[in-house]
Amino acid sequence: MKNLELLPLSAEVKKRLEEFAKQYRRYGHIVIEIVSYSEGRLIVRAEQKDLVNDKFLSKKELTERVREMFKGEIPEDWKLTVSAVNFDRKDIDNITVDWIKGRMDKLGLKAKHLSNYTGIDKCTVSSVLSGDKDLTKWHKVAMYYFFKYYEVANF
């Protein structure tokens, strides 16, 4: 669990919390991390990264699981705030070749730029953009996060 060292807890308690988090990550694809701790106020983030048995947990369900995980492990006078993130991959699933081309035009990018920044070889990028090759899940993820970062970072 990320940032567990921020908590003023015994090594034994930290070890149990780490094990709980590891089990959630392994079996539920749920990532739990400590966002901050200050003066008895603990903020924890939880996100389900992938569907498990075609099921995703709501924010309420994620919050309940995290609260249960910390119950009895942290002092009762601590205020626990859980920031649960909904599982939603529609934005990535909706990526098409036209979407990619539109972003490329808007940002003045060519296939070689996509290849350099994403690690997808230029031949594959060209084949995808021409329609000769289908977009895979991994191509969509790479393009989604590349454009998301590129627009924010203003290379």
Listed in order, strand segments (DSSP E) in 53-141 are 79-85
Tally of CB atoms within 10 A around 153: 7
Neighbours of 146 (CB within 10 A): 19
Which domains, and CATH codes, for the chain? 4-85 (3.30.1340), 91-153 (1.10.260)
pLDDT tens sequence for the chain (155 residues): 889 999 999 999 999 999 999 999 999 889 999 999 999 999 999 998 877 777 888 889 999 999 999 999 999 999 999 999 876 667 788 899 999 999 999 999 999 999 998 899 999 999 999 999 999 989 998 998 898 888 777 65
